[in-house]
Amino acid sequence: MVDLTAVQAAAARLHGQLLRTPCVASRTLSDITGAQIYLKFENLQFTASFKERGACNKLAQLTAQERARGVVAMSAGNHAQGVAYHAQRLGVRAVIVMPLFTPGVKIERTRGFGAEVVLHGQTLDEARSHALQLAKQQGQVFVHPYDDPDIVAGQGTVALEMLTDVPDLDTLVIAVGGGGLIAGMAVVARAMQPGIEIIGVQTTRFPAMVNAIKGTQHAQGSSSIAEGIAVGTPGKLPQAIIRRCVNDLLLVDEGDIEQAIVMLLEVEKTLVEGAGAAGLAALLKYPERFKGKRVGLVLCGGNIDPLLLAAIIERGMVRAGRLTRLRVSARDVPGTLAVITATVAHAGANINEVHHQRAFTMLAAQHVEVELVIQTRGPQHVSEVVNALQAAGLDAQTAP
Contact 10, 154 (CB under 8 A): yes
Per-residue exposure over 320-342, b if at least 16 CB sit within 10 Å of its own CB, e if not: bbbbbbbbbbbebeeebbebbee
> Mean pLDDT lowest for which of 93-107, 248-262, 359-373?
359-373
- Check if 4-49+149-316 and 51-143 are the same fold: yes
DSSP 107-163: HHHHHHTTPEEEE--SSHHHHHHHHHHHHHHHTPEEE-SSSSHHHHHHHHHHHHHHH
**C-alpha separations of 50 from 45, 77, 127 in Å:** 7, 12, 21
301: burial class by Cβ within 10 Å (0-12, 13-18, 19+)? buried
pLDDT for the residue numbered 366? 67
Mean pLDDT, the chain, integer: 93
pLDDT digits (tens, 9 = 90+) for 165-199: 999 999 999 999 999 999 999 999 999 999 999 99
φ, ψ dihedrals at 129, nearest 5°: -60, -40
Distance in angstroms (rounded) separating the CA atoms of residues 319 and 262: 11
Task: Give this prediction's pTM.
Answer: 0.89
Which among 236, 285, 257, 395 is positioned nearest to 329, based on CA atoms? 395
Distance in angstroms (rounded) separating the CA atoms of residues 73 and 24: 33
> Mean pLDDT lowest for which of 160-164, 241-245, 265-269, 368-372?
368-372
Which uninterrupted H or E stretch holds 364? none
Contact 28, 22 (CB under 8 A): no
Sequence letter at residue 286: Y
Neighbours of 386 (CB within 10 A): 19
Contact 89, 98 (CB under 8 A): no
Pairing of strands 197-203, 171-175: parallel
pLDDT for the residue numbered 3? 96
pLDDT digits (tens, 9 = 90+) for 117-147: 999 998 777 888 999 999 999 899 999 999 9
Per-residue exposure over 115-132, b if at least 16 CB sit within 10 Å of its own CB, e if not: bebbebbebbebbbebbe
Distance in angstroms (rounded) separating the CA atoms of residues 370 and 288: 43
pLDDT digits (tens, 9 = 90+) for 221-240: 988 999 889 888 889 999 99
Sequence letter at residue 371: E
- CB-hemisphere CA count at 13 Å for 394? 30
pLDDT for the residue numbered 363? 60
Contact 162, 7 (CB under 8 A): no
pLDDT for the residue numbered 106? 77
pLDDT for the residue numbered 267? 93
What is residue 165's three-state secondary structure?
helix
pLDDT for the residue numbered 361? 62
Residue 356: pLDDT band (50, 70, 90) is: confident
pLDDT digits (tens, 9 = 90+) for 331-351: 878 888 899 999 999 999 999
Share of the chain above pLDDT 70, in %: 98
**C-alpha separations of 233 from 209, 211, 245, 278, 303 in Å:** 8, 10, 20, 19, 22
Per CATH, the number for 4-49+149-316 is: 3.40.50.1100
Where do the H-state alpha helices sit in the chain?
4-14, 27-33, 51-59, 64-69, 78-90, 104-112, 124-138, 149-165, 180-192, 208-214, 236-245, 254-267, 278-285, 287-290, 306-319, 336-346, 379-391
Listed in sequence order, the residues at least 6 apart from 393 whose beta carbon sits closer than 8 Å to its beta carbon are 330
Domain ranges of the chain: 4-49+149-316, 51-143, 321-398
Average pLDDT over residues 21-39: 97
269: burial class by Cβ within 10 Å (0-12, 13-18, 19+)? exposed
Sequence letter at residue 60: A
pLDDT for the residue numbered 190? 97
pLDDT digits (tens, 9 = 90+) for 283-318: 999 999 999 999 999 999 998 988 899 999 999 999
- CB-hemisphere CA count at 13 Å for 320? 18
pLDDT digits (tens, 9 = 90+) for 33-68: 999 999 999 999 999 999 999 999 999 999 999 999
Q: Which CATH architecture has domain 51-143?
A: 3-Layer(aba) Sandwich (3.40)
Which among 127, 99, 324, 83 is positioned nearest to 224, based on CA atoms? 99
Distance in angstroms (rounded) separating the CA atoms of residues 281 and 276: 10
In words, the CATH class of domain 321-398 is alpha beta
| Long-range contacts of the stretch 340-343 (C-beta < 8 A, 24+) | 340/370, 340/372, 340/389, 340/394, 343/388, 343/389, 343/392, 343/394
Angle at 185 between CA 203 and CA 144, to 5 degrees: 70
